[in-house]
Amino acid sequence: MSVKKVIKRDGSSVDFDLQKIVVAIGKANAAVAAEQRLEDSQILAIARYVQQKDKQRLLVEDIQDMVETSIMEMRGYEVAQKYVRYRYRRELKRKSNTTDNGILA
Burial class, 12, CB count within 10 angstroms (exposed 0-12 / middle 13-18 / buried 19+): exposed
Residue-wise pLDDT for 34-75, tens only, equals 999 999 999 999 999 999 998 899 999 999 999 999 999 999
Cβ 21 vs Cβ 46: under 8 Å? yes
**Is the Cβ–Cβ distance between 3 and 53 less than 8 Å?**
yes
Evaluate whether 32 touches 82 at the Cβ level (below 8 Å). Answer: yes
Q: Give the three-state DSSP class for 59.
A: strand
- The pTM of the full predicted model, rounded to 2 decimals, is 0.84
| Residue 53 DSSP class | S
